[in-house]
Amino acid sequence: MAKKSKVKLKVDKAEAAERVSKIWPVLNKTYPEAKIALKFGNSLELLIATILSAQCTDVRVNIVAKEVFRKYKSVQDWAAADLEEIESDIKSTGFYRNKALNIQGACMKIIGEYGGEVPGTMEELLTLPGVGRKTANVVLGNAFGVPGVVCDTHVIRLSRRLGLSENGDPVKLEFDLAEIVPKKNWTLFSDLLMFHGRNICKARKPGCESCPISRFCPSANNPALW
């Protein structure tokens, strides 16, 4: 039997912006501890941890990062390291060959083009190997205080369920959310959706009965829209 297609919500941007204004204070009050789950001490560590987080849990990344950040303390350490040794050190995060290549390549470019310092603009970050808009926004928002919309799987799922965007493509969704969320709130709004996605609005079965924003959610208690 063919799998039944999910019903897609039609999104009106004015209504979506109004919905954001209603759910923002509720989520902000519900998750006062909301922040990025990755552990880092500086912009380089956050950049590397975010590259490692692709297709890997933050819990696993934090375990691996704790050890590698003791071993590789600077861009020079990463750039000079034996590539196979880096692969071995990060292997448990998955896709370790590509990640090792990207991390070392990014560090070499940071040394060669940015004076050994992680750059602080979207345009510059996107020139680094392994860095897309999601990674760049994570670094900008959490290391440099520059607002950025981070579209991970939770943000994508919740944005569609909440009728904030019809887009499942992370880049298109980023621009959709940027239009309806005040810029100063971009980073924290992303963190709040991530926390809500992990705790209540889960992929297979959202906890609509205990959801503090269900009254604003057009998908609440409607499996066809999950």
Contacts of 189 (CB under 8 A, 6+ apart): 20, 24, 149, 177, 181
Does residue 152 carry a catalytic annotation? Answer: yes
Q: Which residue is catalytic, options 58, 99, 134, 191? A: 134
Size of the chain in residues? 226
Contact 152, 192 (CB under 8 A): no
Name the residue type at position 15.
E
Place of tokens 């208690």: 221
Name the residue type at position 3.
K
The angle formed by the CA atoms of residues 172, 178 and 183, to the nearest 5 degrees, is 155
Q: Which residue is catalytic, options 152, 172, 176, 202? A: 152
Catalytic residue numbers? 134, 152
